Amino acid sequence: MNTIVIPLAIASLLLVSCKPSETTSTNTTPEATPAVTTGAVKPYPLDVCLVSGEKLGEMGEPHVITYEGQQIKFCCKSCLPKFEKDPAKYLAKLK
């Protein structure tokens, strides 16, 4: 009996620990907005990249994140580190 119970218990623990996280993520599709915070996400109001000012879609699919409940779109993934350096500077453009 113990030879069956122990492997089943170990397998159960492994399955629970392998559950995907539901926290921060990024996605390159504009339809899927990752959830960094809970609650309603404010839609991105601009048709240009928040960092570079480039028109969204000209460099391929926009890179989309959610930052403090606000959806943010970038023309490419390389704009994300610039945003992360000084988010307040770029968020001011939304107001």
Cβ-contact 68, 28 below 8 angstroms? no
Sequential pLDDT tens for the chain (95 residues): 556 556 555 655 554 444 443 333 344 444 444 444 457 999 999 999 999 999 999 999 999 999 999 999 999 999 999 999 999 999 999 98
Q: Residue 66 belongs to what H/E stretch?
A: strand 63-67
Cβ-contact 76, 59 below 8 angstroms? yes
Task: Tell me which residue of 58, 50, 56 sits closest to 83, measured CA to CA.
Answer: 50
CA distances from 67 to 6, 10, 22, 42, 58 (A): 44, 38, 15, 10, 23
pTM to 2 decimal places: 0.59
Question: What does the block give as tokens for 56?
Answer: 């969204």
pLDDT at 27: 46
